[in-house]
């Protein structure tokens, strides 16, 4: 479980997040939603420890995030950023193997190779294993990077998975596969999954909890299939109510 207590963050004299109070539960997939510039990715970075809030704090398993060492965090949580620029000609399988670095002294190479195989296979990317990463398409790179973060927490229970737009470059088939895989891993391993996303349809269909941010504050939070509705979208995205009611129609 992650608990965020009265968290605020500013940059360049601009308030990005203000008085954020929210809890993310284990065994559930939570979506962070909202318009561009609302503070979604900034909140995710505060949750992962890559940004330090000005005020407030984040509790990870009841312990303040900043008290964990980097080595401790590396086996408790994995992060897929929105942008993962890599220009060196690493092979796809080498990228995934990087996710196993926290276990270099504790695991055998054979175990790591097996995990790389499993995660690439799950991401429909095993056939890309010997391809140079920079030569892959955007969607292929995203699948390989997702295999990397999966490999990092593959043998952990109750770990944390932080994802920033994990389906943005994927076609419809692979969007479905990724979200089904996230659900499967979340359930089997009691993961706490937090996803920043823009696709409201995927959030409605595939997440448990949705947290809407607007102007750095949480405006609406609750069960995804309850709060992703025309009234919420009209309020959070400044849409005319008639437009939201007419054009936003999510079904089970």
Q: What is the pLDDT of residues 37-81, one digit of tens each?
A: 999 999 999 999 999 999 999 999 999 999 999 999 999 999 999
pLDDT classification of 169: cutoffs 50, 70, 90:
confident
Three-state helix/strand/coil letters over the chain: CEEEEEEEEEECCEEEEEEEEEEECCCCEEEEECCCCCCHHHHHHHHHCCCCCCEEEEEECCEEHHHCCHHHHHCCEEEECCCCCCCCCCEHHHHHHHHHHHHCCCCCHHHHHHHHHHHHHHCCCHHHCCCEHHHCCHHHHHHHHHHHHHHHCCCCCCCEEEEECCCCCCCHHHHHHHHHHHHHHHHHHCCEEEEECCCHHHHHHHCCEEEEEECCEEEEEEEHHHHCCHHHHHHHCCCCHHHHHHHCCCCC
What is the percent of the chain where pLDDT is above 90?
83
Mean pLDDT value across residues 93-120: 88
Q: Supply the pLDDT for residue 220.
A: 95
Residue 252 has pLDDT above 60, yes or no: no
Task: Give me the mean pLDDT over the 73-98 stretch.
Answer: 89
**The pLDDT of residue 86:** 78
Among 56-70, 115-129, 203-217, 236-250, name the one with the lowest average pLDDT: 236-250
| Per-residue pLDDT, 242 | 82
Q: Write down the pLDDT at residue 105.
A: 67
Q: How confident is the model at residue 249 (pLDDT cuts 50, 70, 90)?
A: low
Supply the pLDDT for residue 109.
81
In this prediction, residues 217-241 reach a mean pLDDT of: 93
Q: What rounded mean pLDDT belongs to the chain?
A: 92
Confidence (pLDDT) at 107: 62
| Superfamily of domain 1-76+199-252 in the CATH hierarchy | P-loop containing nucleotide triphosphate hydrolases (3.40.50.300)
Condensed to tens digits (0 to 9), the pLDDT of residues 109-166 reads 888 999 999 999 999 999 999 999 999 999 999 999 999 999 999 999 999 999 999 9
Residue with the bigger pLDDT between 104 and 196: it is 196
Confidence band for 100, pLDDT divided at 50, 70 and 90? very high
């Amino acid at each position: 479980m992650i608990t965020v207590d009265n968290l605020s963050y500013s940059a360049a004299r601009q308030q990005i997040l203000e008085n954020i109070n929210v809890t993310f539960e284990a065994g559930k997939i939570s979506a962070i939603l909202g318009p561009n510039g609302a503070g979604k990715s900034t909140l995710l970075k505060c949750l992962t420890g890559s940004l330090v809030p000005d005020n407030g704090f984040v509790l990870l398993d009841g312990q303040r995030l900043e008290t964990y060492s980097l080595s401790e965090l590396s086996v408790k949580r994995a992060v897929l950023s929105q942008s993962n620029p890599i220009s060196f000609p690493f092979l796809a399988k080498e990228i995934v193997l990087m996710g196993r670095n926290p276990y270099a002294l504790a695991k055998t190479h054979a175990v790591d190779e097996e995990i790389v195989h499993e995660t690439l296979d799950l991401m429909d990317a095993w056939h890309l294993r010997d391809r140079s990463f920079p030569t892959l398409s955007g969607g292929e790179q995203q699948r390989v990077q997702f295999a990397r973060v999966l490999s990092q927490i593959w043998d952990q229970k109750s770990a944390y998975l932080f994802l920033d737009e994990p389906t943005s470059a994927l076609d419809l088939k692979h969007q479905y596969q990724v979200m089904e895989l996230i659900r499967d891993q979340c359930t089997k391993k009691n993961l706490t999954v937090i996803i920043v996303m823009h696709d409201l349809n995927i959030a409605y269909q595939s997440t448990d909890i949705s947290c809407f941010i607007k102007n750095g504050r949480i405006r609406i939070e609750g069960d995804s299939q309850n709060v992703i509705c025309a009234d919420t979208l009209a309020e959070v995205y400044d849409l005319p109510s008639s437009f939201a009611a007419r054009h936003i129609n999510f079904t089970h």
